[in-house]
């Protein structure tokens, strides 16, 4: 009896196309499109810094001329792109007797089982990518267990900036604190431009900010206080910064819940930049993907020993990157 998974519809190319078509329903940073995807052909990227301006060095075919750097002091930094594999299995019980359902063919029915598995796996990759991207906005990219993968501030030899909003004191000039954040970001753009500043806040920071006497007064003066009866957690602009409550969290392999933003903290960053943010995707470690441009996700399947099911393998090789970590400002409520 022919194994249905040998059909070309379940090849690496077909499954990879299928998992990339599944929409990413998780991630505020995905919705903001702050760190757009940039596929690369290698497992490493090299970032060049020249006079404060950072440029990614493109790959070239063997024998072709290299890019010409500008004269002056330059620094090259190399970053290894993380490899994130995830496996699952389609058991015989899941596909047994599927031909009897309605008018579906066997391949259509098995394709539905495969699609359900791919969607679950895709969602796990999505929340993992959100975690990595949030780390890039904080300047410290962490693994699932909380260990450090890359400290961008150390890599770029930059001292991280923190602004204490002192929200516990009723007399604090919150607008002046916002101006200080804007000034720090603008000073570190290094020739880049922006069209605004966004700030993702922990629930504790957001509550302290909106409950501050100076901020509440501003709400009353805006549309006669109509904003006070609405849900402003989606974001409001005050002092030139759009503040938004962010509740991103996930559990690790041990069942521990990890919040993406610590209690009482917030993180501000510029919007509308050209090349300050990116998410680099490396190719999978398959024979078929050697020297190809990386995709956000890959999927592949093979039969188990004695044909006792089908192993399903997915992987992603992402590296969210901020090329100018100086524009990443941490805010604290204390």
What is the average per-residue pLDDT within 299-309?
87
Q: Are 212 and 172 in contact (CB under 8 A)?
A: yes
Q: Kindly indicate the confidence band of residue 53, based on its pLDDT and cuts at 50, 70 and 90.
A: low
pLDDT tens, position by position, 135-182: 999 999 999 888 999 999 999 999 999 999 999 888 899 999 999 999
The string over 157-193, giving b where at least 16 C-beta atoms fall within 10 Å of a residue's C-beta and e elsewhere, is ebebbebebbbeeeebebeebbebbbebbeebbeebe
CA distance 181 to 169: 19
Residues in the chain: 334
CA distance 298 to 19: 7
CA distance 296 to 318: 7
What proportion of the chain, given as a percentage, has pLDDT over 90? 52
- Whole-number pLDDT of residue 100: 47
User: What kind of fold does domain 4-59+74-149+278-320 have according to CATH?
Assistant: putative capsid protein of prophage fold (3.15.30)
Maximum distance among all alpha carbons in the chain? 79
User: What kind of fold does domain 160-274+326-332 have according to CATH?
Assistant: hypothetical protein PF0899 fold (3.30.2320)
Q: Kindly indicate the confidence band of residue 92, based on its pLDDT and cuts at 50, 70 and 90.
A: confident
Q: Are 84 and 111 in contact (CB under 8 A)?
A: no
Query: CB neighbours (10 Å) of residue 253?
Result: 7
In 28-182, which ranges are E strands? 37-39, 44-50, 53-56, 74-80, 84-90, 140-142, 148-151, 161-164
pLDDT tens, position by position, 99-125: 544 545 665 577 788 888 999 999 999
- Whole-number pLDDT of residue 60: 73
Flag whether pLDDT at 266 surpasses 60: yes
Flag whether pLDDT at 127 surpasses 80: yes
C-alpha distances out from residue 32 to 66, 112, 244, 296, 309, Å:
35, 31, 12, 17, 40
Give me the residue spans of the domains in the chain: 4-59+74-149+278-320, 160-274+326-332
Nearest Cα residue to 317 out of 146, 91, 80:
80
In the chain, helix, strand, coil percent, each to 5? 35, 30, 40
CA distance 198 to 31: 13
Where is average pLDDT lowest: 64-73, 78-87, 137-146, 254-263?
64-73
Nearest Cα residue to 203 out of 168, 178, 233:
233
pTM of the full structure: 0.85
Q: Kindly indicate the confidence band of residue 223, based on its pLDDT and cuts at 50, 70 and 90.
A: very low
pLDDT tens, position by position, 1-30: 455 566 666 788 888 988 888 877 778 898
Nearest 10 degrees: CA dihedral of 102, 104, 110, 116?
A: -70
In this structure, what DSSP letter does residue 293 have?
P
């Amino acid at each position: 009896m022919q194994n249905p998974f040998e059909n070309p519809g379940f090849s690496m190319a077909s499954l990879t196309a299928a998992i990339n078509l599944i929409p990413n329903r998780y991630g505020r940073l995905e919705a903001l499109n702050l760190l757009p995807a940039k596929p690369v052909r290698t497992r490493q990227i090299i970032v060049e810094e020249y006079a404060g301006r950072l440029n990614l060095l493109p790959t070239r075919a063997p024998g072709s001329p290299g890019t010409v750097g500008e004269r002056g002091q330059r620094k090259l930094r190399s970053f290894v792109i993380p490899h994130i594999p995830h496996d699952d299995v389609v058991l015989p019980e899941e596909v047994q007797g599927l031909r009897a359902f309605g008018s579906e063919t066997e391949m259509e029915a098995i394709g539905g089982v495969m699609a359900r598995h791919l969607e679950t796996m895709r969602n796990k990759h999505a929340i993992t990518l959100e975690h990595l991207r949030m780390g890039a906005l904080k300047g410290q990219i962490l693994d699932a267990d909380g260990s450090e993968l890359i400290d961008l501030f150390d890599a770029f030899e930059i001292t991280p900036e923190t602004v204490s909003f002192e929200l516990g004191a009723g007399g604090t000039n919150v607008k002046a604190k916002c101006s200080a954040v804007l000034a720090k970001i603008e000073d570190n753009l290094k020739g880049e431009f922006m069209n605004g500043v966004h700030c993702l806040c922990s629930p504790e920071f957001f509550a302290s900010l909106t409950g501050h006497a100076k901020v509440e007064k501003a709400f009353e003066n805006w549309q006669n206080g109509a904003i006070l009866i609405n849900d402003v957690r989606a974001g409001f602009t005050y002092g030139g910064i759009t503040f938004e409550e962010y509740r991103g969290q996930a559990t690790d392999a041990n069942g521990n819940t990890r919040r993406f933003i610590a209690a009482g903290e917030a993180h501000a960053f510029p919007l509308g930049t050209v090349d300050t943010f990116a998410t680099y995707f490396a190719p999978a470690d398959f024979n078929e993907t050697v020297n190809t441009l990386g995709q956000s996700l890959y999927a592949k399947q093979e039969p188990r020993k004695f044909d006792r099911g089908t192993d399903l393998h997915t992987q992603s090789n992402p590296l969210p990157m901020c090329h100018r970590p100086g524009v990443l400002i941490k805010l604290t409520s204390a």
